[in-house]
Amino acid sequence: MLVLGIESSCDETGAAVVRSDGTVLSDVVQSQVDLHARYGGVVPELASRDHARNIDPVVREALARANVGLDDLDGIAVTNRPGLVGALLVGVQFAKGIAWSRGLPLVGVDHLVGHLLAVFLRRPADEDAPRPEFPFVALLASGGHTSIYQVDGPTADACRELGGTRDDAAGEAFDKVAKLLGLGYPGGPVIDRLAAIGDASRFPQKAPMASVRSLEFSFSGIKSRMARHVADHGRPKDEAEIAALCASFQRAVTDVLAKKLVQAAEMNGVSRVVLGGGVAANRELRERVKTLANARGIDSFVPPLASCTDNAAMIAYAGAARLGRGDRDGWDLTATSQTSLLRLTRKGRGAR
């Protein structure tokens, strides 16, 4: 089965052609990072307009690179949640247009399910890498979400949240700390780069909620401590100091993420862990997860960078799983800001 995936939930316009076995025939991502950089975050109205401008050329490019026409497709998958509603609607309406005009089946995909399944994509560079079997425990750490899920199958109804952040998402913390240090937006890649040359022991940070035997996270405290440091000492000018601050921040955050992921797998008797979401591109996190999992006899599966950050290939793959079991959405498919995945409530009961 050949599926066209369309992604426009935030600040990346994406289109990809993917086979249901995960083979990526094309994956086009048009980032809006430069557009939003001067505001230090995503401006929703600008995002929607840019998606509207770019979606047609991005889809054409994805079809051209895959060397397929619309008539070769077996279905269309589009991110319809969670995200900025105005941005999502651009993709959803465009997908409906194509599906209607060619009589193709259409499915909406939860962006978070896309991130959780991105590990199954087969790109030319990692075609032979091992893929996990179900069930696995996955850490989804991105700009808007940070949670641990047990994933029993390739659809939203088979994903269960085991724990998540009480406040900021990990990626949001990276972005805010980078802003504080005057490093620009998005913060993750810059901090990653500087941390590699910084001395993490110069300003040691405690990993947030590391000692609690729960699977919850909190990243607002560490961000406030970084802000206080900058307020007390002024914005650091020398590169060694900036790098040291980045290194200590990154050490604390990646340490708690990796530990709780492995802990979650052990608590649930699952022997495989998986990474997903933009923060999974972080080199220290990737290393840490491999090392910790290895030490506990747990298999770890870490997707290549292009599969971690936002892309439409993961949406096409998740859509193929839905289409494969006969799911179809109608012309009334809507966009919503909320995920369809079960969320933990304070009492531990699931809620949508």
Residues that bind Mg ion (CB under 5 A): 10-11, 310
Of residues 136-195, those binding Fe ion (CB under 5 A): 142
294 among the known binding-site residues?
Answer: no
Q: 303 φ, ψ to 5°?
A: -70, 155
The contact pattern for ligand ATP, residues 152-181, with x = CB under 6 A and - = no contact, is -------------------x--xx------
Q: What are the percentages of helix, strand and coil residues in the chain, rounded to 5?
A: 45, 20, 35
Q: Is residue 188 at the binding interface for ligand ATP, with CB under 6 A as the rule? A: yes
Give dist(CA 287, CA 95) in Å, integer.
38
Give dist(CA 137, CA 263) in Å, integer.
10
The DSSP secondary structure of 21-81, one letter per residue, reads TSBEEEEEEEE-HHHHHTTTS--HHHHHHHHHHHHHHHHHHHHHHHT--GGG-SEEEEEEE
Query: Nearer to Fe ion by C-beta: 137 or 141?
Result: 141
Q: 47 φ, ψ to 5°?
A: -60, -50
Binding at 189: pick from Mg ion, Fe ion, ligand ATP, none (beta carbon under 5-8 Å per type) = ligand ATP
Query: Nearer to Fe ion by C-beta: 172 or 310?
Result: 310
Query: Nearer to Fe ion by C-beta: 284 or 310?
Result: 310
The closest alpha carbon to 116, from 158, 151, 81, 83, belongs to 151
Of residues 223-282, those binding ligand ATP (CB under 6 A): 277-279, 281-282
Are the CB atoms for 105 and 323 separated by under 8 Å? Answer: yes
Binding at 114: pick from Mg ion, Fe ion, ligand ATP, none (beta carbon under 5-8 Å per type) = none
Binding at 319: pick from Fe ion, ligand ATP, Mg ion, none (beta carbon under 5-8 Å per type) = none
Give dist(CA 49, CA 57) in Å, integer.
14
Selected range binding ligand ATP among 88-96, 101-109, 188-196, 222-230, rule: CB under 6 A: 188-196
Q: CB 186 → Fe ion: shortest distance, Å?
A: 12
277 among the known binding-site residues?
Answer: no
141 among the known binding-site residues?
Answer: yes
Other Cβ atoms less than 10 A from the Cβ of 70: the count is: 14
Q: Which amino acid is at 144?
A: G
Tokens, residue 200? 């993490």
Q: Is residue 311 at the binding interface for Fe ion, with CB under 5 A as the rule? A: no
* Number of residues forming the site for Fe ion (CB under 5 A): 2
Interacting residues toward Fe ion by CB under 5 A:
142, 310
Binding-site residues for substrate sit at 140-144, 175, 188, 192, 282
Interacting residues toward ligand ATP by CB under 6 A:
9-10, 83, 111, 115, 142-145, 171, 174-175, 186-189, 192, 277-279, 281-282, 309-310
